[in-house]
Amino acid sequence: MNNPLQLSLVNFKKGAYIIVEGKQKADCFYIIRSGKVSISKEVEVVEEEGGNILAPGDFFGVVSTMSSHSHIETAQAITDVTLIAVRREQYGLLIERNAPVAMKIIQQFSKKMRYLDAALARLTLKSGDSEDIAHLFRVAEYYARQSQYNLAYYAYHQYIVNSPRGQNVNLAKERMAKIQPYAKAVYLDIQGEEFTRSYPKNTMIFSEAQPGKEMYIIQKGSVKITKIQNDNEVMLALLKAGDMFGEMSLLEDKPRSASAIAHEDTVLMAVNKANFTRMVSNQPQLISKLTQILSERIWFIYKQLANTQLSDPVGRLYDALLIQLEKLRIPISSEAYTFDLGPRELGNMVGLPKEELNLVLQKLFQNSKVKIVDNHVYVSDIEEIEKQAKYYRKMEKIEKARRQGSMNLRK
């Protein structure tokens, strides 16, 4: 039997606040039917693509609703508006009835992810674009230097295939010949239509900067998503069975934004464009899951970006710890908690250079409730993290207002 999709229409008067940043429990998002809505964020970290004024057909509130986190933006009606409210549990049905809406949402998310990734890399690592094909050679060189020959071999190969006239092709060929005896790489070039693929631990599924036309669903094992920036490997995520990745190239016809490496022996199901289009209409639950995954990633990266705006490095560490707690949905209570993070990883997360890390950690550990136990960050009272992070966020706001005030006075 067909369930009817009953979406409700809601009206807001000009000037009304529709959603407010930081408010918990987003349970529905909105599609604009008529009128205009402005979107703003407390910390304007990046210039939003497409501007901040939304018109009929546009949507907002999807990230927080689909990830079940707090709102990451404020929406205000700038004319009288009529909105279509979509509750989280109605999303699957919406896709079934209206596949183009789902495609529009996913495509916009993918674009958003790409420029947020780039903004984060710029702000934390002060490094530039890595989409050009020559970056493949840098990826290969990095892994060769780390004696990770499986990964290097794959990336050299991709560089040669995708940039046959590149200035380092001869060098890449020499290096490949040298490391070949030690390198294991599967599926150097994908041909044919096999959709289930097995990757042994520590082999590359694809490299950052190579062209890509498929996305993957992890059936078994786990996959590391990494980027090479300024000659450092940055881990963006560790994905498990049921997770999906590689959707950005598939949706946007752009090079891979990061590398995917089998972290254990891994089995993947590959989905090409034709199958993806079929999935959108036949398997709404998968598209719903993909929207949820993308929403969680975008929520997380927004928080990381806001973190970069805190000028006090100790404040950034507290804030990063609070983001972890929120991400994992750990309730804020007076209990103890051990983070799945060592001090070095914590420093990496907020882009602290190695030289500064020790001094900043010393300051952090002046708080007797925060310690290192077995190379993991431990707090004896979770509430303390929230209290400190909020304190530093507030001080930043006051400082910002003061700076703006003195600038205005000078005018």
Q: With respect to ligand CMP, which residue has the nearer C-beta, 256 or 393? A: 256
- Look up residue 180 and give its DSSP letter: G
How many other C-beta atoms are found inside a 10 Å radius of the C-beta of residue 230? Answer: 10
Smallest distance, ligand CMP to C-beta of residue 162, A: 15
Q: Does 306 engage in binding with ligand CMP (CB under 6 A)?
A: no
Alpha helices by DSSP H, 22-87? 62-67
Judged by CB under 6 A, the residue of 175, 297, 303, 316 near ligand CMP is 297
* Binding range to ligand CMP, per CB under 6 A, among 132-140, 177-185, 245-253, 319-327: 245-253
Compute the least distance from the CB of residue 252 to ligand CMP, in Å: 8
Bridge partners of 237, per DSSP, are: 225
Sole binder of ligand CMP in the list 137, 143, 156, 245 (CB under 6 A):
245
Whether the Cβ atoms of residue 192 and residue 119 lie closer than 8 Å to each other: no
In the sheet with 215-220, reading across from the earlier edge strand, the strands are 196-199, 266-271, 215-220, 244-245
**Site membership for ligand CMP, residue 319 (CB under 6 A):** no
Interface characters, 33-52, with ligand CMP (x: CB under 6 A): --------------------
Residue 184 in tokens: 């294991």
Of the candidates 35, 92, 246, 313, which one interacts with ligand CMP according to CB under 6 A? 246
Q: Which stretch binds ligand CMP (CB under 6 A): 58-66, 249-257, 330-338, 377-385?
A: 249-257
- Calculate the CA dihedral of residues 229, 300, 361, 387 and round it to 10 degrees: 160
Name which position in 77, 81, 209, 248 contacts ligand CMP (CB under 6 A): 248
Q: Which stretch binds ligand CMP (CB under 6 A): 168-176, 252-260, 276-284, 377-385?
A: 252-260
Query: Two tokens at 265?
Result: 């022996």
Place of tokens 């693509």: 49
Choose one: 11-19, 244-252, 306-314, 375-383; the region binding ligand CMP (CB under 6 A): 244-252
Q: How far is the CB of 101 from ligand CMP (least distance, A)?
A: 21
In the complex, minimum distance from the CB of residue 257 to ligand CMP, in angstroms, rounded to a whole number: 3
Residue 327 CA to residue 337 CA, distance in Å, equals 14
What is the sign, positive or negative, of the torsion defined by CA atoms of 254, 216, 349, 60?
Answer: positive
Asked if 317 touches ligand CMP (CB under 6 A), the answer is no
Task: Select 151 or 248, whichever has its Cβ closest to ligand CMP.
Answer: 248
**CB of 250 vs ligand CMP, minimal distance in Å:** 6
Q: Which is nearer to ligand CMP, 49 or 356 (CB)?
A: 49
User: ∠358-361-363 over CA atoms, to 5°?
Assistant: 115
- Please give the residues from 115 up to 174 whose contact with ligand CMP meets the rule CB under 6 A: 117
Give the DSSP H/E element, type plus range, for residue 60.
strand 59-60
Task: Report if residue 298 touches ligand CMP, rule: CB under 6 A.
Answer: no
Distance CA 383, CA 405 (A): 33
99 touches ligand CMP by CB under 6 A: no
Q: What is the DSSP letter of 339?
A: -
Report in angstroms how near the CB of residue 225 gets to ligand CMP at its nearest: 4
d(Cα 15, Cα 51) in Å, to the nearest integer?
A: 19
| Beta strands at 37-40 and 8-12: parallel, antiparallel or unpaired | unpaired
Count, residues near ligand CMP per rule CB under 6 A: 16
Q: Is 389 in the site for ligand CMP (CB under 6 A)?
A: no
Q: How far is the CB of 98 from ligand CMP (least distance, A)?
A: 24
Per the DSSP assignment, residues forming a β-bridge with 254 are none
Q: Is 247 in the site for ligand CMP (CB under 6 A)?
A: yes
| Angle, helices 284-308/273-282, rounded to nearest 10 degrees | 110
Cβ contact 323:300 at 8 Å? yes
Told to check if 307 binds ligand CMP by CB under 6 A, we report no
Question: Which residues 6+ apart lie within 8 Å of 346 measured at CB?
Answer: 317, 320, 321, 339, 377
Amino acid residing at 328: L
DSSP E strand stretches across 180-333: 196-199, 204-206, 215-220, 223-229, 232-239, 244-245, 259-262, 266-271
Looking at the Cβ atoms of 77 and 151, the one nearer to ligand CMP is 151
Q: Min. distance of Cβ 161 from ligand CMP in angstroms? A: 18
Closest CB to ligand CMP among 215 and 310? 215
- Identify residues 200-239 at the interface with ligand CMP (CB under 6 A): 212, 225, 236-237
Contacts with ligand CMP by CB under 6 A lie at: 113, 117, 212, 225, 236-237, 245-249, 256-258, 297, 301
